């Protein structure tokens, strides 16, 4: 399997899952989106911001520049519409970033330092994989908060995405 095609398909899935999630979040009463819950990220709104915050940080790591973020639970956007637009822009940026990388760039080791001070290094390809799996992980937390709000979360499993691809003549999964 072509690694670049695989990474692209994961990033495209991630963007689709984010859109589906925001569609469902928009259907919730606003007070359910911001309601404090017994979870580390406190609310659906803060969780959506966290997903963007982490992607901003990892893009900075991959581009070997400072991100200036000091708090993992930082609110990037109070307004849900602005947050959704920033999410769309980040998802598009990730695809454009991938398209601009050579195979050597994908394999190049990226040094990073996490907010807590832990240091490490991974290839750019693994950084991109991490961003997708991190998004899936936290969308699961958000799905739990939908249950706490007596609402049905976005159904964003890969087979659902594959069916969407097939029904809309989009690029098939590898």
User: 172 in a domain, yes or no?
Assistant: no
Instruction: Tell me the β-bridge partners of 121.
Output: 111
What are the two backbone dihedrals, phi and then psi, of residue 114, each rounded to the nearest 5 degrees?
-75, 165
93-136 per-position pLDDT tens digit:
999 999 999 999 999 999 999 998 999 999 999 999 999 999 99
- pLDDT of 1: 54
User: 76 in a domain, yes or no?
Assistant: yes
User: 174 in a domain, yes or no?
Assistant: no
pTM for the whole structure:
0.95
**69-87: string of b/e by CB count within 10 Å (b at 16+)?**
eeeeebebbeebeebbebb
- pLDDT of 170: 80
User: Can you tell me the distance from the alpha carbon of 47 to that of 53, in angstroms, rounded to the nearest whole number?
Assistant: 10
CB-based contact 20:154 (threshold 8 Å): yes
CA 27: distance to chain centroid?
20
Q: In 3-state terms, what secondary structure has residue 61?
A: helix
Taking the CB of residue 17, how many other CB atoms lie within 10 A of it? 22
Number of domains in the chain: 1
User: 37 in a domain, yes or no?
Assistant: yes
Straight-line distance from the first to the last Cα atom of the chain, in angstroms, rounded to the nearest whole number? 7
Q: Which helix (H) or strand (E) is 84 found in, with range?
A: helix 80-99
The CATH number for 18's domain is 1.20.120.450
Tokens of 74: 């930082």
User: 150 in a domain, yes or no?
Assistant: yes
With a cut of 50, list the residues of the chain below it in pLDDT.
none
User: 79 in a domain, yes or no?
Assistant: yes
State the residue range of the domain holding 91: 3-167
């Amino acid at each position: 399997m072509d690694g670049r095609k695989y990474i692209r398909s994961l990033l495209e899935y991630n963007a689709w899952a984010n859109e589906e999630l925001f569609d469902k979040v928009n259907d919730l009463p606003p007070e359910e989106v911001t309601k404090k819950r017994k979870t580390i990220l406190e609310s659906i709104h803060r969780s959506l911001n966290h997903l963007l915050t982490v992607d901003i940080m990892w893009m900075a790591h991959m581009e070997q520049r400072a991100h200036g973020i000091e708090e993992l639970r930082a609110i990037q956007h109070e307004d849900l519409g602005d947050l959704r637009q920033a999410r769309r822009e980040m998802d598009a940026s990730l695809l454009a970033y991938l398209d601009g990388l050579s195979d050597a760039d994908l394999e190049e080791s990226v040094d990073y330092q996490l907010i807590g001070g832990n240091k490490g290094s991974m290839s750019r390809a693994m950084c991109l994989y991490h961003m997708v799996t991190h998004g899936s992980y936290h969308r699961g937390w958000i799905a739990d908060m939908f249950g706490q709000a007596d609402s049905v979360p976005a159904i964003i499993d890969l087979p659902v995405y594959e069916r969407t691809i097939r029904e809309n003549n989009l690029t098939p999964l590898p």
